[in-house]
Chains A and B, each alone.
Chain A
């Protein structure tokens, strides 16, 4: 079963900062600075992190919506890093994306039918079957046939996200990259959409890369989880390992910062000092050392290696072993 579907090798994305007048020096925002992971067929890999950590940029690079500055993206054994738009077009039906904002990701001037038909037209689906496929898709995501002739603004947030998911499913993809698919939704609607995504995964054998900031959602949906901080993965492990035995101090702080919806539970929490540094000017050494409660001199100088501490449990921290003992 452990078949690799997607392999991301040390990808980087540097955005140039518009240079100031009369200044020659080119500066860059290192949005993603060397991220590697693999995604196996049928699993859900989540990438969590706070704003500006580069999780969405990573997703967009895999989708080839952004150029990759450095590194490689390999999908089903094919290196798609340097493919042109025309070369990658036929491959696009294998991987699709679901976006965060269900209000903005649907063209308000098109009917639901036109929106769902678009991928079918682009990938030359049989014309006669398109109508039937649209109906089928609507039913799969729990909507009705009569919704087809409506416009996006006539739907609620949850329904629109269902439409977004239906669009992604239209061409039977193998991989879906979901960028914060439930964070714009109401609490009572989130669980509906999460359940739908789980059902669809089972039904169609989908593989998810799930990008999110909400750890409780991530714990619910993932098989494996990667934690990003300032453009780098700091920890990657199976869900049980990561939530049960987090090794990186950032992961620990992140987990303890999540408010627990149970007033009877009282706990000590690690509160990180200060703000997230700007990715345009990241700290030296371990980028987390400015906020890390356990930072040592080494952390300021040396970039920690992203190493496999235990089988399948990767962490980028000099002192992971010692911290684990404490």
Chain B
């Protein structure tokens, strides 16, 4: 085979835009995200958690509700990796099965909050004036309550139960999303390219969907991820207080609550679900941090 050697001139023109792979916003994001080592690990951990949420209940080594009174509060062993609880149920199996509940509560509540908050935030930011003041003052009122207190209040009205926990967490996520989305809407709205598209005669609906909303997505994604962590935490707290998931549900917060009485004798009953909460929340927060660094256009290399 004859080896073709390009002259330097040919090599230069070979390297024109036509032949360089396109840098899409996504490829740029991925390149920057991959550099965030910790967030990258957290990303895979979160993916594993989501997989576990689907298959967890089917791969538990023991039945999660069947009591075993011969093995009550036994410590971690080869048979029971994380020991057993006051009813002799395998804690490892229950934590595994609980993943689904925690992720479900976290994701749906934040998703509902994000949808509501994004809608309100865009409307407030884009149309401004009276609508803006009304929406933002309502948000201020909601934000003036401590989050957990607001959730307890909502549950007091709706009654305890996991479904109501989701609603409660969603409601107090709404004003936070509304604020964030409103501020990025304002930022995008004042850019020159919005003025340019207005000068073309683009209708407000198209401006919102084609320009404003995509411009706020990155901040929504970042906040969404971070918010899941705290939603899981809040849901666990509510369950711990007996306002959320009820026994014998393997919800992590409820498990903590169940082990509370044996804290001295059998700390493993609380340690393992506690650890699960801790690691999950941490993973979502680290992921959120990494996403922010990779998505924020102000952070340049």
Contacts and interface: CB of A to CB of B under 8 A. Distances in A.
Contacts, number: 71
B201 A92 contact: yes
A147 B25 contact: no
Give chain B's interface secondary structure class: helix
Interface stretch (B32-40, B123-131, B192-200, B250-258): B192-200
Given A107-B193, A109-B215, A154-B17, A149 B199 contact: no
Interface size class of A (residues with CB under 8 A): 20 to 34
A105 B196 contact: yes
Given A119-B200, A154-B23, A105 B215 contact: no
A116 B52 CA distance: 45
A28 interface: no
Contacts of B215: 107, 109
B19 to A, nearest CB: 10
A81 to B, nearest CB: 17
A97 B22 contact: no
Contact of B200 (A92, A109, A154): A92
Interface residues of B, number: 24
Interface in B3-60: 17-18, 22-25
A106 B215 CA distance: 13
Interface string B71-88: 000000000000000000
A37 interface: no
Contacts of B23: 151, 153-154
Interface in B193-240: 193, 195-203, 206, 210-211, 214-215
A122 B192 contact: no
Interface string A144-177: 1011011101100000000010010001000000
Given A107-B211, A109-B214, A154-B17, A97 B196 contact: yes
Contacts of A217: none
Given A96-B199, A122-B201, A150-B17, A105 B25 contact: no
A258 interface: no
B191 interface: yes
B222 to A, nearest CB: 16
B200 A101 contact: no
Interface string B254-298: 000000000000000000000000000000000000000000010
Given A88-B201, A149-B22, 5 more contacts: A108-B297, A144-B18, A147-B17, A150-B17, A164-B196
7 contacts: A89-B201, A96-B199, A104-B193, A105-B195, A118-B197, A122-B203, A151-B23
Sorted from nearest, which 3 A-B pairs have the closest CB atoms?
A: A92-B201, A104-B192, A107-B193
